[in-house]
Structure 1
Amino acid sequence: MDNYPISAHLLGLLFQLDGKQLQDQYKNHLSDFHDWDQKPHAEYWTVFPNNISPQLGIDETSFSNGELYTIVSSKACKGKKGTIVAAIKGTRAEDIIAVLERIPLRLRNKVKEVTMDMAPNMAKAIRRCFRNARRVIDRFHVQKLAYDAVQELRIRYRWQVLDEESKKIARARKNGVPYDPEVLPNGDTLKQLLARSRYLLFKHPTRWTESQKHRAELLFLRFPLLKKAHDLGITLGDIFNKCKDKKVAFTKLTLWHNC
């Protein structure tokens, strides 16, 4: 408790006090919240120029009620005190730029790198506000594109199987015979195989359970293109995870792209 922040509410409960009352008293009397110079606009934006560092990150997040906020953070603090450089309600490039330009230009010019996703509004804000910074696409967003492509292919195959099954059911009903779907060795039907393979396709093969290995074997036997897509996604992840040298990584990415 001495090393990690906790809420006043929880602190009160730990000492058998009215946690909500302690929280209210701290907010309204003990803290300087009501004297905070950013309080009037804190709902819409806050900015902390002194937290800026040569490496920043920018991304969107949802705090409560589904409201999106754009967060600019310092890489130097590694998520601890002093990490937040700016928090802006919404994701419009113009709103982000208007807030970030409140940071003195001499500080913004010290930024050398900004990690971002692939959103064009973020790229526009970085170009305008951090002119000396190199834009770096977050590896997790790149990997997500590959994994999303695998899932899209799985879903497409599942719709094809469902359509084919509907036709077989209609033919069986027309002929007055019961329809018996094919049952695979692991007990799945084909549509169940595709539905239940969702999570294993996100995982590295070394982390599959025995049942997932069996399911993957059946899946890839029926849908070899799905295996190729999954292998490409896993290989991309391995490049990011294992390559420490930039030149080696670029070479492997080129080979991966030409697969």
Structure 2
Amino acid sequence: MSFLMKFLFPPSIFVTATTLASFSILVTNGLSEIRGKNMQYSKFAGVKNSVAESKKRMISGRAGMVMLYTPAFLAGLSSFAIFPDEGFRFFLLKSAITIHFLKRVLESSFVHKYSGEMALGTMIVILSSYFSSSVFMIIAQHLTMGNPEPAIDLKIPGILLFLVGIIGNFYHHIRLSKLRSGTGKGAKEYKIPKGGLFDFVICPHYLFEVLVFWGFALISQTLYSFAFALGTTCYLTGRSYATRRWYLSKFEDFPKGVKAIIPFVF
């Protein structure tokens, strides 16, 4: 524990409680993806896990994706007014959160191509997760004010990891959007992605999104941000596993050497 505290601010009871809750939910959701109970968006929007799920209310994919990220973006943006002048580390975290979710709003509006709808319940669950995680990361950082800095400063590695993650994520989202260019039925058909890290893993965009959240963690150095990054890693690993399984079921020529999220490993 003493070694761990060289990297972290000492957590409060509030931070510990929210950390355990968020981490447990994300790990559970990741296991659900592996077991085939998938969040109903993207290619899984039309996959029915039960008769009851077929009756779920659906909304357009574009509207759903924009709504997913907007509250988290607004949380990051408003934190500049709510918690002004609380140090360079806090400024970096607020900036990273705001930039990441603004990017996701803009991508959802202008870059992504959509093949179907999104379940309203799924949209609310994911929206709540991103919004609450952003708020709790900000609050956890605010609660560190007045505490000594961790012995090992990880801000610079965090900035670098965040930049690599956000650029890599954007690049692979662009490649995905070009797979379904044009209009009509062809614009809604899935194809096997090629180029970039798609030649090694089916979900490099998730891999780079994981790096974004680990960038948050290294910048922040709070227990909550580290646990949320680990929980997000578990969830997106499960989602990537389910995605690879879906591609294997749909395409007989899917390259067996292409992994889910970690090149050559998983």
TM-score when scaled to structure 2? Answer: 0.22
User: Of Structure 1 and Structure 2, which has the larger fraction of its residues in helix?
Assistant: 2
Q: Quick one: higher RCO (CA 8 Å, sep 6+), 1 or 2? A: 2
User: Of Structure 1 and Structure 2, which has the larger fraction of its residues in strand?
Assistant: 1
